[in-house]
Amino acid sequence: MKTIKDSVHDHIEVGGVARALLDTPEVQRLRHIKQLGTVSLVYPSANHTRFEHSLGVYHLARQALSHMGIEGRAAERVRAAAILHDVGHGPYSHNVEDVIERHTGKYHEDVEDVIEGGPVESVLEDHDLDPDRVAGLIHGEGQYGGLVSGELDVDRMDYLVRDAHHTGVPYGTIDHGRLVRELRFVDGELVLGEGNVQSAESLLVARALMNPTVYSHHVARISKSMLRRGAERLIASGIDPEELRRMDDHDLLVALRTSESTEGIARRFAHRDLFKRAVWAEYRDVPGDLLDMDHETTVECEETIADRAGVEDDAVILDVPAYPKMTESSTRVVVGGETRQLDEQSPLVRTLQHSQLNQWRLGVYAPADAAERVGHATEAVLGLDTDGTLISDVRPGLHTTLDRFGAGNQ
Verify that 284 and 383 share a domain, yes or no: yes
For 56, the 3-state DSSP assignment is helix
pTM over 0.75: yes
- Are residues 130 and 35 part of one domain? yes
Neighbours of 150 (CB within 10 A): 19
The answer to whether 120 touches 138, Cβ cutoff 8 Å, is: no
Asked if the structure places residue 79 within a domain, the reply is: yes
Judge if 38 and 180 occupy the same domain.
yes
Q: Specify the higher pLDDT residue, 392 or 97.
A: 97
DSSP-based helix, strand, coil % in the chain, nearest 5:
55, 10, 30
Asked whether residue 185 is domain-assigned, the answer is: yes
- Where among 214, 249, 264 does a domain terminate? 214
Q: Is the domain of 123 the same as that of 48?
A: yes
In a shared domain, residues 197 and 75: yes
Q: Quick one: 296 and 163 in the same domain?
A: no
What CA–CA distance (Å, rounded) separates 358 from 368? 27
Same-domain pairing of 103 and 184? yes
What digits encode the pLDDT tens for the residues 377-399?
998 887 644 344 333 333 333 33
288 burial via Cβ count (<10 Å: 0-12, 13-18, 19+): exposed
Does 347 fall in a domain?
no
Q: Are 68 and 74 in contact (CB under 8 A)?
A: no
229 domain-assigned: no
How confident is the model at residue 98, as a pLDDT? Answer: 95
Residue 300's domain spans which residues?
Answer: 275-324+360-410
* Residue finishing a domain among 184, 214, 244: 214
Domain stop point among 162, 195, 214 = 214
List CB contacts of 6: < 8 A, sequence separation 6 or more.
Answer: 12, 52, 55, 56, 59
Distances from the Cα of 260 to the Cα of 47, 113, 169, 255, 266, angstroms: 28, 31, 38, 10, 10
Looking at the structure, do residues 33 and 177 belong to the same domain, yes or no?
A: yes
- Assigned domain for 255 exists: no
Contact predicate 358/217, CB 8 Å: no
Which of 98-102, 156-160, 229-233, 404-408 has the weakest average pLDDT? Answer: 404-408
Asked if the structure places residue 48 within a domain, the reply is yes
- Split into its structural domains, the chain has a count of 2
pLDDT score of 383: 63
33 and 139 fall within a common domain:
yes
| Helices within 45-153 (DSSP H only) | 50-68, 72-84, 97-104, 112-115, 119-126, 131-138, 145-148
Do both 172 and 281 map to the same domain? Answer: no
> Which domain CATH number covers 79?
1.10.3210.10
Q: Is residue 72 part of a domain?
A: yes
Which range is least confidently modeled, 158-172, 183-197, 214-228, 372-386?
372-386
Q: How confident is the model at residue 46 (pLDDT cuts 50, 70, 90)?
A: very high
Same structural domain, 177 and 317: no
Whether residues 42 and 182 share a domain: the answer is yes
Is 333 part of any domain? no
pLDDT at 406 over 60: no
